[in-house]
Amino acid sequence: MLDSLRPGERLRFKHHDGEFLGLERRLNESHTLKVSRDPTGLKADVLQDTLETRSRTVRGVIDHSLFEAVEAAGAREQIAVALADIFGWDIDFALDVRSGDAFVVTWDEIWRDGTYLKDGPIQAAAFVNQGRAFRAVRYTDPQGATRYYTPDGTSLQRDFLRTPVEFTRVSSHFTSARWHPLLHRIRAHQGVDYAAPIGTPVRAAGDGRIRFAGRRGGYGNVVEIEHTRSIVTVYGHLSRFAHGTRVGEHVTQGAVIAYVGMTGLATGPHLHYEYRVNGVFRNPQTVMLPGAGPVDARWREDFLARCAPLLASLDYPPGAMLVSR
């Protein structure tokens, strides 16, 4: 027990006239180690505390940023992060959010003995972005798989991330005619450039197989991933590759494959990202991303029954136009 103690950790000792009678040590948020003395000597027990789950709902309107609005509504920063993750396949929170957008979010809070411990998962949420309303509800099927779905049972998760890097700004958009700052001529820019500090992790946009990882002309250090549906994603100007990034390796969505750099024809650190379908360049910011599928037909009735009360906790500002997603 002693070799796992951490600096700052508190122990509660019980003694009488200098005789050790026992101690208590908090193991985690729900378990306590209790050592006590009885006539036969010392004994140790792990006691499980009773945790209370409280449902909480807040609503807000965005003035400057999602994070400021969520905190102003009385929720913590991690709720804003989770909200952006849930709707991130439909809304680009770095580019698409506008003043006047609104949200409703219902989540669990975990309490012990009247004391708040932490935020649990978001159970239901709605976000109105430029007049379009998106809704999400959390559902765990009888086999234990948990995802967020629309009210009709369509998964919000997509087979591809909309943006494979945490960026500061879009330094160059997808266009058929752009003045190239190094070549000094107009040429098509068939991808999107996401400015980010050197060393920022670059993630695989979707599951697939690496078909190229190395240096190639103006791309500098580049990774190409081959996916299903004849889709290929390209990641250029990388500073270095992540461990295990090599040709033939399979990667999963979100896995770190490389790091932002400015190799090749680049005037500053950024990720050049391309999305190709059957060899045709598509705009990564607007292309329709393939979905992950609906709730299994076997669980549909269970899904509708469990989600109805959660959806009832959501409301919308007047005039919001509901969309299919």
Q: What does the pLDDT read at residue 55?
A: 92
Q: One fold for both 52-155+294-322 and 169-282?
A: no
H or E, element range at 86: helix 77-87
Per-residue pLDDT, 4: 65
Q: In Å, how far from its chain's centre is CA 40?
A: 52
The model carries a pTM of 0.64
CA-based Rg of the chain, rounded to a whole angstrom? 25
pLDDT at 42 over 80: no
| pLDDT of amino acid 27 | 64
Measured between alpha carbons, how far is 142 from 144 in angstroms, rounded to an integer? 5
Q: Which one of 3.40.1010.10, 2.70.70.10, 3.40.50.300, 3.40.640.10 gives the CATH number of domain 169-282?
A: 2.70.70.10
Q: Which CATH number fits domain 52-155+294-322: 3.40.50.2000, 3.10.450.350, 3.30.43.10, 3.30.470.160?
A: 3.10.450.350
Q: For 116-170, how does the pLDDT look when each residue is reduced to its tens digit (9 = 90+)? A: 888 999 999 999 999 999 999 999 988 888 899 999 999 998 889 989 998 888 9
Per-domain boundaries in the chain: 2-49, 52-155+294-322, 169-282
* Residue whose token pair is 């050592």: 35
pLDDT tens track for 62-121:
998 899 999 999 999 999 999 998 998 888 887 788 999 999 999 999 898 888 888 999
Structure tokens at 106: 């219902």
- Enumerate residues 6+ apart whose C-beta is below 8 A from 194: 163, 165, 167, 169, 170, 171, 270, 271, 273
Residues 6+ apart with CB under 8 A from 56: 75, 106, 107, 108, 109
CATH architecture of structural domain 2-49: Roll (3.10)
Share of residues in the chain with pLDDT > 90 (%): 53
